[in-house]
């Protein structure tokens, strides 16, 4: 199994630990603002998931393998107890970790994802658009942005995707392994939990009311796997809850971690 995941570490290692996990095609930088603010009272670890950011690449990487690898990396850092906060795909990994080793997880926060199957073809057009981009004829992110604009018309989403594009010696390259992600998308889209899985510890789901990733009909599934879960929906935000309304998200996160939810 690959090792040496990239991690941004902040705060005092003597403080309580909270681990942040990003979503598909994201990276640890997606949690940078939140982790900086949280580091005044917590030891924060923000990982690049395998096949993302500056972490190693590996074919056919599953949610289960991601969970095991990240747990091992946390343990190697001397942390036997930690809280988890995962968004989207990172939320799936966090759910898997909590069910695999509930004694290690103090508190679990899942951001805008549910323990259910999602259609894999939802992400395929984006992955294919990035894979089909001929970087050899481009010299800047601006040119890449223009080349992607027809297939990905949403400007904000393009800017998010282009955070994965690096420029070195006037050459562009993708940080994530797009081919491996495309080949793994079937597994990554599935419910990461088995019917017998359960985490009875403190759990909070924070969802975006304009997202559609977590709807009312998914609440029974959440309660099945996480019987003590509390659910909060921010009605005016979409899928990227912690980005679109960081102040309110942080208030809910801090209240939960301090036992005030």
The residue among 111 and 2 whose pLDDT is bigger is 111
Report the mean per-residue pLDDT for the chain. Answer: 95
Cα separation of 74 and 223, whole Å?
27
Residue 74 has pLDDT above 90, yes or no: yes
pLDDT tier, 1 (very low <50, low <70, confident <90, very high otherwise): very low
pLDDT tier, 120 (very low <50, low <70, confident <90, very high otherwise): confident
Residue 179: both structure tokens together: 């081919």
Residue 2 has pLDDT above 70, yes or no: no
- Return the pLDDT at 3: 63
> Structural domains in the chain?
7-118+190-257 (3.40.50.1820), 121-183 (no CATH)
- Return the pLDDT at 169: 81
Confidence (pTM): 0.96
What is the per-residue pLDDT across 11-46, written as a single tens digit (0 to 9) for each? 999 999 999 999 999 999 999 999 999 999 999 999
Mean per-residue pLDDT, 188-213: 97
**Full DSSP string of the chain:** ------EEEES-TTSEEEEEE--TT--GGGGHHHHHHHTTTEEEEEEPPTTSTTSPP-TT--HHHHHHHHHHHHHHTT-SSEEEEEETHHHHHHHHHHHH-TTTEEEEEEES--SS---GGGTHHHHHHHHT--GGG--SHHHHHHHHTTT---HHHHHHHHTTEEEETTEEEESS-HHHHHHHHHHHTS-SS-TT----SEEEEEEETTT-SS-GGGHHHHHHH-TT-EEEEETT--S-HHHHTHHHHHHHHHHHHTT--
Cα separation of 209 and 112, whole Å?
9
Mean per-residue pLDDT, 88-94: 98
Residue 139 has pLDDT above 70, yes or no: yes
Mean per-residue pLDDT, 206-227: 96
- Return the pLDDT at 168: 83
Cα separation of 49 and 179, whole Å?
15
What is the per-residue pLDDT across 159-183, written as a single tens digit (0 to 9) for each? 999 999 998 888 899 999 999 999 9
pLDDT above 70: percentage of residues in the chain: 99
- Return the pLDDT at 251: 97
Mean per-residue pLDDT, 206-235: 96
Are the CB atoms for 223 and 124 separated by under 8 Å? Answer: no
Angle subtended at Cα 198 by Cα 215 and Cα 105, rounded to the nearest 5 degrees? 100
């Amino acid at each position: 199994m690959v090792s040496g995941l990239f991690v941004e570490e902040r705060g005092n290692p003597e403080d309580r630990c909270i681990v942040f996990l990003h979503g598909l095609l994201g990276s640890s930088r997606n949690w940078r603002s939140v982790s900086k603010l949280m580091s005044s009272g917590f030891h924060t670890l923000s990982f690049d998931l395998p096949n993302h950011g500056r972490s190693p690449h590996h074919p056919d990487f599953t949610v289960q393998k991601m969970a095991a690898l990240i747990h091992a990396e946390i343990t190697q850092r001397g942390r036997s107890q930690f809280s988890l906060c995962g968004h989207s795909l990172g939320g799936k990994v966090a759910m898997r970790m909590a069910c695999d080793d509930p004694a290690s997880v103090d508190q679990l926060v899942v951001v805008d994802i549910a323990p259910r199957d999602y259609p894999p073809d939802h992400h395929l057009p984006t992955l294919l658009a990035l894979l089909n981009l001929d970087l050899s004829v481009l010299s800047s992110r601006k040119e890449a942005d223009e080349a992607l604009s027809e297939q990905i018309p949403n400007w904000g989403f393009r800017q998010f995707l282009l955070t994965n594009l690096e420029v070195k010696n006037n050459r562009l390259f993708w940080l994530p392994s797009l081919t491996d992600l495309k080949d793994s998308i079937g597994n990554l889209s599935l419910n990461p939990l088995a019917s017998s899985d359960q985490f009875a510890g403190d759990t909070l789901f924070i969802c975006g009311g304009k997202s559609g990733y977590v709807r009312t009909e998914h609440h029974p599934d959440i309660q099945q796997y996480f019987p003590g879960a509390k659910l909060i929906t921010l009605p005016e935000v979409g899928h990227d809850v912690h980005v679109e309304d960081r102040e309110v998200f942080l208030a809910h996160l801090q209240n939960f971690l301090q036992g005030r939810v």
